[in-house]
């Protein structure tokens, strides 16, 4: 069940980053303890505001006067850091609310992750947060940090030595460890941090709040997010929309991509979560970049932090250059595997390459030999030829370790500086490693440098996707319309389901239900032979298993026999079943088998699915999902993402299938899903026969399942 969103995502989170007075509840004199470390770090790293240690013993803690209760603190702290045992946390939080504290970080563990008793304590925290209007981060979390303001609400050992430099990378993570490691990795890569937030058990503030808060934060330009689970899909999408509207990139490391990983995440977070496929699809549509590893996340962030958004490419073409054919081959492999293309260079371009480097291999990837780095003017001539090629591809230049060689480094730097001046509107990507001062100088000129070929390929693919997404407006849901009230009988059997779907604009076979052999013959003659008979019963889910289907009936005589035999078989094999009649339907053949349907995701609500039909597709799990509604264009993208999509484009001389009609059906179903969200749990159309282009689609079988009434 979706949580009620009482606030805009991210509202009231500022104190976690910029509080000027902080109470530490459960403060300790020992700077290695969880109650001692935040105070120690705040003091050590020069927090300029007021600090109020609170401990029932009173006295002095880490050289500051301690208070026995937060109530006694002489001013109202904006932020409280709570490090008392779990059982005492609700009372401490309640005291904070009484005092007027705006936000509290509960660092303590022992809540939902520790069993039912802890879960009850966590529910108390949630309730206090909601009722008393105090924002709560955690419990069982690594807290929050505002770097510029020196607000350090964490016990992370990562800050023991020194605080990261202030910068524009904000980090939100459910796992404290992952978030902390991400922060350290970003710092080691030479970038600065704006804010850090680890949401832990998410009794109140969740990852969507964190993203939304950073979307509004003026210090943050790039938002990194480590996500294990999503509890509230629509809130997450709102937060991502806020980031997009603010022109900020969100890079998401979504962990739990495999079944084993998902199982581990579920047992670890104790959350009822949406499916990974739905989360991935929703994130992608919302414009977030998803990555598979922290290393990829960090390299992509490094690139995005130096490359202006206006330079992000909108086409997938890359022109690859190396001093060696072998490296060219490796780059080609990696780029193609990352989904990028290698367009052919024009004859004019190839002539210009040869003019610059006579011994060069002039196809893409360009083998420019060691000669390319013999003089800056030669390199400049070569690179400008590539940049001016009609394909307008992104230029990727492999340097390997050349920047470590002073002579080569000089040549590269001089040529690249001139290229940057003369082609300010083009993305340039380098692959290589070198002394930090040199790579920094190049990066600061707006040139992306990746350390390895693989990192470059995956990073560039992400930058292209971002370039394509940034131009796109967010999806506008279909206009509201008057939907008919739902009659419960649509869930009773296939006939009523199809009748409802037909009225709703979903193409299904036209059928009749009959109660006698005579009526069956009449219906068959009206529909036209050949026809199919199917048993109609609310008690029979799998018709073929009880002999409840007769195919390819070609005459009135056959119809009579088939009708009698069908009823006899069903009476024998399913004697208890209530029989609503016999369905007479046209025998539809041809076309490509697909499946589509809607269901309900625990985090995102109504979702729509489309896939190839048949046993092969089932083995391959060849389906695409998306949160409802989807436009026809989005449905088309879903269809095009299927592994077996080439089947729809026509193979072995088959005509191309009517994917537009299929996409329209998927889009229509997704609107239905939204309109009847509380009433329909599931619709399955299987199979849908997709006819040749222009001839439409038709659903041959349909099943509708009612939503369980909400408790």
How many residues touch a second copy under the rule CB under 8 A: the total is 72
* Cβ 619 to a second copy shortest distance, Å: 5
Contacts of a second copy in 310-329 (CB under 8 A): 322-329
In the block, tokens 């013993």 appear at 57
When asked if residue 255 is in the footprint of a second copy (CB under 8 A), the reply is: yes
Query: Is 614 an interacting residue with respect to a second copy (CB under 8 A)?
Result: yes
Give the residue, chosen from 89, 214, 453, 607, that forms a contact with a second copy under the rule CB under 8 A.
Answer: 453
Q: Give residues 53-82 in contact with a second copy (rule: CB under 8 A).
A: none
Q: Report the phi/psi class of residue 149: left, alpha or beta, with left for phi > 0 and alpha for psi in -120 to 50.
A: alpha
Q: Does 644 engage in binding with a second copy (CB under 8 A)? A: yes
Segment (H or E) for 54: strand 50-54
Choose which of 68, 337, 526, 561 interacts with a second copy (CB under 8 A): 337
**Could you give the maximum distance between any two Cα atoms of the chain, in Å?**
101
- Per-residue b/e over 515-543, b at no fewer than 16 CB within 10 Å? eebebbbbbbeebeebbbbbbbbeebeeb
CB of 263 to a second copy, least distance (A): 8
Closer to a second copy at the Cβ: 322 or 464? Answer: 322
Cβ at position 242, least distance to a second copy in Å: 25
Supply the minimum distance, in Å, between the C-beta of residue 572 and a second copy.
Answer: 21
Closest CA to 454 of 319, 292, 288, 296: 296
Q: Which of residues 268-287 bind a second copy (CB under 8 A)?
A: 268-269
Q: Which of 1, 48, 479, 619 binds a second copy (CB under 8 A)?
A: 619
Q: Which of 12, 58, 261, 530 binds a second copy (CB under 8 A)?
A: 261
* Position 367 contacts a second copy (CB under 8 A): yes
Distances (CA, A) of 404 to 155, 188, 408, 432, 434: 39, 20, 8, 10, 5
The token pair at 162 is 């020194």
Q: Which two tokens stand for residue 5?
A: 């969103």
- Distance between CA 104 and CA 136 in Å, rounded? 5
- Report cis status (omega within 30 of 0) of the bond before 530: yes
Smallest gap from residue 89 Cβ to a second copy (A): 16
**Residue 49: how many CB atoms within 10 A of its CB?**
16
| Residue 293 in the binding site for a second copy (CB under 8 A) | yes
- CB within 8 A of 362, min separation 6: which ones? 345, 349, 350, 353, 354
How long is the chain?
Answer: 711
* Nearest of 216, 232, 325, 237 to residue 273 by alpha carbon: 232
Nearest to a second copy of 472, 552 (CB atom): 552
- Calpha distance 61→75 (Å, rounded): 18
Residues 176-195 that bind a second copy (CB under 8 A): 176-178, 181, 184
Using the rule CB under 8 A, which residue among 452, 489, 558, 686 binds a second copy?
Answer: 452
Q: Is 202 in the site for a second copy (CB under 8 A)?
A: no
Residue 256 interacting with a second copy (CB under 8 A) = yes
Residue 201 sits in the site that holds a second copy (CB under 8 A): no
**Closest separation in Å from C-beta 73 to a second copy:** 30
Please list every residue from 456 through 495 that binds a second copy, using CB under 8 A: none
Alpha-carbon separation of residue 452 from 11, 264, 295, 296, 458 (angstroms): 40, 31, 11, 11, 10
Q: Is 354 in the site for a second copy (CB under 8 A)?
A: no
Stretch that binds a second copy, among 47-55, 201-209, 398-406, 520-528 (CB under 8 A): 398-406
Residues 533-562 that bind a second copy (CB under 8 A): none
Judged by CB, which is closer to a second copy: 264, or 306? 264
- Considering only residues 8, 127, 354, 400, which one is a binding residue for a second copy as defined by CB under 8 A? 400
d(C-alpha 441, C-alpha 452), whole Å: 19
Among 50, 264, 579, 693, indicate the residue that binds a second copy (CB under 8 A).
264
Q: What part of residues 645-674 is at the interface with a second copy (CB under 8 A)? A: 646-647, 651-652
């Amino acid at each position: 069940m979706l949580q009620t969103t009482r606030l805009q995502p991210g509202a009231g989170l500022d104190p976690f980053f910029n509080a000027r007075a902080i109470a530490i509840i459960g403060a300790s004199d020992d700077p290695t303890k969880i109650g001692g470390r935040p105070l120690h770090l705040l003091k050590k790293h020069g927090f300029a505001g007021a600090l109020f240690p609170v401990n029932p013993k009173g006295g002095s803690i880490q050289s500051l006067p301690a208070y026995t209760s937060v109530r006694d603190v002489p001013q109202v702290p904006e932020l409280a850091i709570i490090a008392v045992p779990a059982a005492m946390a609700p009372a401490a939080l309640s005291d904070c609310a009484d005092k007027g504290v705006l936000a509290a970080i509960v660092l303590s563990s022992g809540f939902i992750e520790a069993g039912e008793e802890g879960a009850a304590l966590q529910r108390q925290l949630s309730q206090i947060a909601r009722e008393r209007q105090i924002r709560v981060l955690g419990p069982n979390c690594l807290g929050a940090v505002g770097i510029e303001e020196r607000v350090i609400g964490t016990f992370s050992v990562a800050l023991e030595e020194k605080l990261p430099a202030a910068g524009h990378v904000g980090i939100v993570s459910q796992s404290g460890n992952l978030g902390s490691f991400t922060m350290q990795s970003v710092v080691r890569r030479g970038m600065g941090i704006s804010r850090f937030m680890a949401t832990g058990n998410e009794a109140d503030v969740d990852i969507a709040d964190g993203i939304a808060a950073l979307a509004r934060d003026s210090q943050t330009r790039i938002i990194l997010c480590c996500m294990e689970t999503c509890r509230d899909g629509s809130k997450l999408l709102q937060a991502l929309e806020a980031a997009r509207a603010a022109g900020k990139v969100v890079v998401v490391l979504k962990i739990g991509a495999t079944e084993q990983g998902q199982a581990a995440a579920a047992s670890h977070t104790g959350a009822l979560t949406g499916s990974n496929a739905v989360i991935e699809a929703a994130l992608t549509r919302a414009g977030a970049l998803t990555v598979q590893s922290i290393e990829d996340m960090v390299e992509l962030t490094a690139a995005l932090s130096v490359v202006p958004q206006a330079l992000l490419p909108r086409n997938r073409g890359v022109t690859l250059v190396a001093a060696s054919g072998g490296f060219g081959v490796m780059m080609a492999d990696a780029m193609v595997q990352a989904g990028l293309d290698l367009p052919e260079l024009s004859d004019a371009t190839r002539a210009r390459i040869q003019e610059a480097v006579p011994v060069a291999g002039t196809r893409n990837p360009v083998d420019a030999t060691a000669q390319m780095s013999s003089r800056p003017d030669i390199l400049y001539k070569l690179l400008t030829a590539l940049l001016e090629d009609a394909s307008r591809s992104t230029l990727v230049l492999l340097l390997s370790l050349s920047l470590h060689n002073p002579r080569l480094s000089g040549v590269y730097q001089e040529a690249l500086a001139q290229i940057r001046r003369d082609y300010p509107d083009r993305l340039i990507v380098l692959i290589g490693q070198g002394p930090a001062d040199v790579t920094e100088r190049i990066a600061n000129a707006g040139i992306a440098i990746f350390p390895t070929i693989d990192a470059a390929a995956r990073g560039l693919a992400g930058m292209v996707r971002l370039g394509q997404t940034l131009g796109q407006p967010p999806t506008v849901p279909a206009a509201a319309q008057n939907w008919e009230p739902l009659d419960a009988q649509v869930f009773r059997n296939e006939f009523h389901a199809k009748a409802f779907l037909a009225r709703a604009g979903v193409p299904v076979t036209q059928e009749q239900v009959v109660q006698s052999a005579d009526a069956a013959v009449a219906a068959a003659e009206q529909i036209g032979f050949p026809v199919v008979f199917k048993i109609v019963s609310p008690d029979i889910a799998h018709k073929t298993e009880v002999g409840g289907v007769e195919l390819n009936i070609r005459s009135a005589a056959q119809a009579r026999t088939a009708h009698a035999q069908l009823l006899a078989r069903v009476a024998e094999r399913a004697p208890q079943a209530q029989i609503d009649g016999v369905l007479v339907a046209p025998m539809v053949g041809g076309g490509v088998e697909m499946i589509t349907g809607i269901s309900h995701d625990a985090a995102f609500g109504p979702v729509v699915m489309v896939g190839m039909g048949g046993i092969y597709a089932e083995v391959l799990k060849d389906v695409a999902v998306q949160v409802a509604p989807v436009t026809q264009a989005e449905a088309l993208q879903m269809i095009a993402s299927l592994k077996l999509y080439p089947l729809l484009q026509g193979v072995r001389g088959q005509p191309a299938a009517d994917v537009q009609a299929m996409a329209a059906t998927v889009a229509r179903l997704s609107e239905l899903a939204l309109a009847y969200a509380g009433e329909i749990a599931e619709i399955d159309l299987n199979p849908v026969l997709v006819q040749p282009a222009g001839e439409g689609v038709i659903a041959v079988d349909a099943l509708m399942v009612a939503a369980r009434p909400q408790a």
